[in-house]
A and B are shown apart, each in its own frame.
Chain A
Amino acid sequence: MKNWKMIFVVSLLVLSQILAACAPAATPTQAPEPAATEAPAEPTAIPTATTPPEPVDIVLWAQATVTEASAPPDDWVAYQIIRDELNINLTYAIIPTGADGEAKLNAAAAANDLPDLFQIVSASNDSRGALLRIVDLGLVAPVEELMPLMPERTNLHYNDPLAIDLVTFNGHQYGFPEPPPIPKREGLVIRKDWLDKLGLAVPTTPEELLAVAVAFTEQDPDGNGQNDTYGLGGFLNQQGLGTRFDFIMGAYGVPGVWNFADPANFGLNVRSEQFPEALAFFKSLVDAKVIDPDWPTLTRDDFRARWKQGSYGIMWEDFAALTNKSNYEPFDTNFPDGEWIPVASPKGPNGDAYYGVYTGRGQIFAVSQTAADAGKGEAIAKLLEWMATDGYYLLGFGEEGKNFIIDANGNISTEGLDPLEAYTAPERQPFTQMRNQLIFYNSEQEIAARYPDYKTLNGRDMLPMTFLSFFQNEPWVDGRGIQVILPPANAADFDRFYTEGLIKFVLGQEELNDDTWAAYLAGLDALGAADYEAAAKQALTDAGLLK
């Protein structure tokens, strides 16, 4: 017995040593900078680099396009090409999305251990704000001198002067603003089959919307004899009532948090007289019980599961999440006769009609100061340029003739290819992980490849692009200025008060009348609303966004 124990303990120790030694060596990271005695006042310019004889090591952190697929294998042909043609040893690490990715980036920043080229991750989708914070810490290198080194890429990706302005601080450009995902891609849709069954017309005003929603909820539009349908479905996100219900607020002229629609009177939308009216209308929807009562607590995934189960008649959804083949299929299977059509934004009592607020937020990539100091700037520029030119198809789709072909119309297609090798196959996903982050720039060819037309189960044509163009033609508020508005110091408290107050009114936890509304506004002021608005206005004016 005693021998057995000793042997067990000793072998555990030995095993642990072996296993620890077997753990792969740390990826080459920069050694932390020796503590400087003061923060640098002017950012150090990138030293002119001569081509080094040895390959330059570049570490790239970016999110994955398909999180469940792995990173490309070590023997990926692109790594080889990059080494041979560009003299760069690329290490590509995938970072998570959302709060976890932001925590990882924060931690690396705190340790002054940021990688050479990295993507800014922000759980609240405020990449510019996150970038500014690490710029202030002196951890990011200015990159305006790199732009001329990548003419093609600048032409395709960085051709929006506003986007460049937004990442320029103190006269220096600090990031590469990748093109945002297709703009204005969300919109209002309604179940046409339910309208037909109940003999109703598409609603055009908030009142009509309420009437239709009531009918959908109470008159069993799917004809299954059960009381399981709701007129409206949605969920909460971000501030206030969120973007999913902005079309309602927009009918009263107050979509979103900030009043971008009326620059002369710029401020928080809650100051407008129409806001309590909009709120009262929303409350009437809640009181009529036409919204799925779980709406304040649902997540986006729950919400999507529910419309696929046929619970909702009217909803706000992303065009691809609704109409793209793989997303539509579960719904189609259960409701082959189910049909969604896009709806124009309802017109409120004062004639206002806004679909929503377009923020234009995209992804930003940055170069760490340590990389710049090590003279890697030119190599990074070369890499990015290659990704936009020779490497475009390779990193975006694969090898021509093997993973994709270009057909007679110039569109990308997989006809005639081995299904396992097609770029759409799960096996190929690891090889195109960078496409949404660094490669695609919303070209027509890309969009046609991503959102092809198809036929539904009962033979109907489904054309995602028609939904998209419908949505894009609706009246959106240009809210891109929101990117320059920095959150106040007490952001958590302010946001909670703002959102919680509105929700309380809407849910009836607090009665909505002139006095309570005035008290709500006073509460916001007590938390610094006036200063927040003034600072926002100043930032917008400085950026030339307030016309």
Chain B
Amino acid sequence: MLHTKTRDAVIFQIGLASFLTLILLIILVPFWRVIVTAFIPLDIYTREGVPFFLSPTRWSFEAFKQLLGHSMFPRAAWNSVVITLLGTAISVILTVPLAYGLSTRNLPGRKLIMTLVLFTYLFSPGLIPVYLLITGMELTNNYLAIILPPAVSVYNTLVMMSFFEGLPEELKDAARIDGANELQVLLHIILPLSRPILLTIGLFYAVFFWNEFFTPILYLNDNDLLPLPVLLRNILISASFNEYVEYDAFSSSSLESLKAAGVLITMIPMLLIYPWIQRYFTKGTLVGGVKE
């Protein structure tokens, strides 16, 4: 893209860069503190809390060792991966057709469907009614109990619908004239052009399932099935119940470090996924789509 270097544009860019740097600092400074907390050795922590700057030579990996080296960590991490992949796949596969259907302007019954969908967004039944349904379907102790109730998020569906609406009708018409049916239009024309939104919504779902912690506690009875957030939380609770557990405490790092390290560990997969997705966020995905 041509960046015409007019005086206005350059000043504008400088302003932008300063603004973004400011935002970056505001975000990173408290965040940096969390990172330092995760690496602080126990003796420094008990002596003076968390100092603002800690020389990397004194960084301690104790908290990470304790969490990553926990005997149940690999199993819990794997469980989280399964839940996330399965959940994201099911959610996206269910969301896309509905969003696409709702985006079709002249579909009979569209308003009705929209009403029905919006109704569930507003009126959320709550914990007990969902639990009654799940036990009625005998899905306790099964990952589907965690995945299915929240699988289609109305918010995500409507956002996706909004994007599909924004695609030019001419593209679909061009395909239809060539004899394609709706399914082919969806698969071959719409989806390839909707990469940014598909990836975004997929990311939203993935993050949701990756961090799910309450429904696993509620529905899963087998310790082997528990995902990572539950394990991390159990470790933290353990470290704080130390007046009733009198044996050598598990924690050789402070509770604060464990919390911070736990959060960072949970964050790492998401950190890796988004930049990978960003490669597909290219400007102008419609270039070359339609010959005017």
Contact = CB atoms under 8 A, between A and B. Distances in A.
A and B touch in the complex (CB under 8 A): yes
Interface of A: 1-2, 5-6, 9, 12-13, 15-16, 19-20, 23-27, 29, 32, 64-71, 93-94, 96-98, 100, 103-104, 106-107, 110-111, 113, 181, 185, 300-301, 304-305, 308-309, 318, 320-321, 324-327, 330-331, 333-334, 423-427, 429, 436, 450-451
Interface of B: 42-43, 46-49, 70-72, 82, 85-86, 89-90, 93, 127-128, 131-132, 135-136, 138-144, 187-188, 191-192, 214, 217-218, 221-225, 231, 234-235, 237-250, 254-256
B128 A110 contact: yes
Contacts of B135: 29, 32, 111, 113
Given A103-B218, A320-B243, A327-B242, 4 more contacts: A2-B188, A320-B246, A324-B243, A423-B247
A27 B188 contact: no
Nearest to A326: B249
B246 A93 contact: no
A423 B245 CA distance: 12
Given A23-B143, A330-B42, A324 B242 contact: yes
Given A24-B141, A68-B238, A305-B256, A100 B217 contact: yes
Contact of A327 (B43, B93, B132, B249): B249
Nearest to A97: B237
16 contacts: A26-B140, A27-B221, A29-B135, A64-B234, A67-B237, A68-B238, A70-B223, A96-B234, A98-B237, A103-B218, A107-B131, A107-B218, A113-B140, A301-B255, A330-B42, A333-B43
Contacts of B222: 24, 27, 93
The 7 closest A-B pairs by CB, nearest first: A68-B238, A321-B243, A326-B249, A68-B235, A450-B246, A93-B221, A71-B223
Contact of B214 (A15, A100, A181): A100
Contact of B86 (A20, A110, A181, A301): A20
Contacts of A436: 244-245
Given A70-B72, A94-B223, A103-B218, A308 B46 contact: yes
Contacts of B245: 65-66, 436
Contacts of B221: 27, 93
A436 B256 CA distance: 26
Given A301-B240, A305-B255, A12 B218 contact: no
Nearest to B134: A111
A107 B248 contact: no
A423 B140 CA distance: 34
B141 A27 contact: yes
Contacts of B128: 106-107, 110
B127 A103 contact: yes
Contact of A26 (B127, B138, B255): B138
A111 B89 contact: no
Contacts of B48: 309
Contacts of B192: 1
Contacts of A97: 237, 241
Given A26-B140, A100-B214, A110-B128, A13 B255 contact: no
Contacts of B82: 19
Q: In the complex, which of the residues B49, B242, B245 has the most CB atoms of chain A within 10 Å of its own CB atom?
A: B245
A331 B254 CA distance: 12
Contact of A70 (B71, B141, B187, B254): B71
B132 A110 contact: yes
Contacts of A320: 242-244, 246
Contacts of B42: 330, 333
B127 A107 contact: yes
B191 A5 contact: yes
Contact of A9 (B49, B93, B242): B93
A269 B43 CA distance: 44
B202 to A, nearest CB: 12
Nearest to B191: A5
Contacts of B244: 65, 181, 320, 436
A308 B255 CA distance: 12
Contact of A110 (B46, B131, B140, B239): B131
A333 B238 CA distance: 22
Interface centre among B221, B223, B225, B248 (most CB of A within 10 A): B221
Nearest to A107: B131
A93 B221 CA distance: 6
B238 A66 contact: yes
A15 B90 CA distance: 11
Nearest to A301: B240
A301 B236 CA distance: 10
Given A65-B245, A68-B70, A111-B131, A104 B217 contact: yes
A73 to B, nearest CB: 9
Contacts of A26: 138-142
Given A94-B223, A103-B218, A331-B46, A111 B241 contact: no
A331 B45 CA distance: 11
A181 B241 CA distance: 13
Contacts of B217: 96, 100, 104
A517 B192 CA distance: 70
A173 to B, nearest CB: 26
A327 B243 contact: yes
Contacts of B248: 325-326, 424-426
Nearest to A13: B93
A181 B192 CA distance: 63
B141 to A, nearest CB: 5
A65 B144 CA distance: 29
A326 B221 CA distance: 31
A429 B143 CA distance: 27
B186 to A, nearest CB: 11
Contacts of A100: 214, 217
A11 to B, nearest CB: 10
Given A23-B143, A300-B240, A451-B246, A15 B127 contact: no
A330 B252 CA distance: 9
Contacts of B141: 23-27
B90 to A, nearest CB: 6
Nearest to B76: A70
Contacts of A67: 234-235, 237-238, 241
A309 B47 contact: yes
B89 A15 contact: yes
A325 B246 CA distance: 8
B243 A318 contact: yes
A59 to B, nearest CB: 8
A162 B191 CA distance: 70
Contacts of B140: 26-27, 29, 113
A110 B47 CA distance: 49
Scoring B46, B85, B217, B234 by chain A CB atoms within 10 A of each residue's CB, the highest score goes to: B46
Contacts of A423: 247
B280 to A, nearest CB: 14
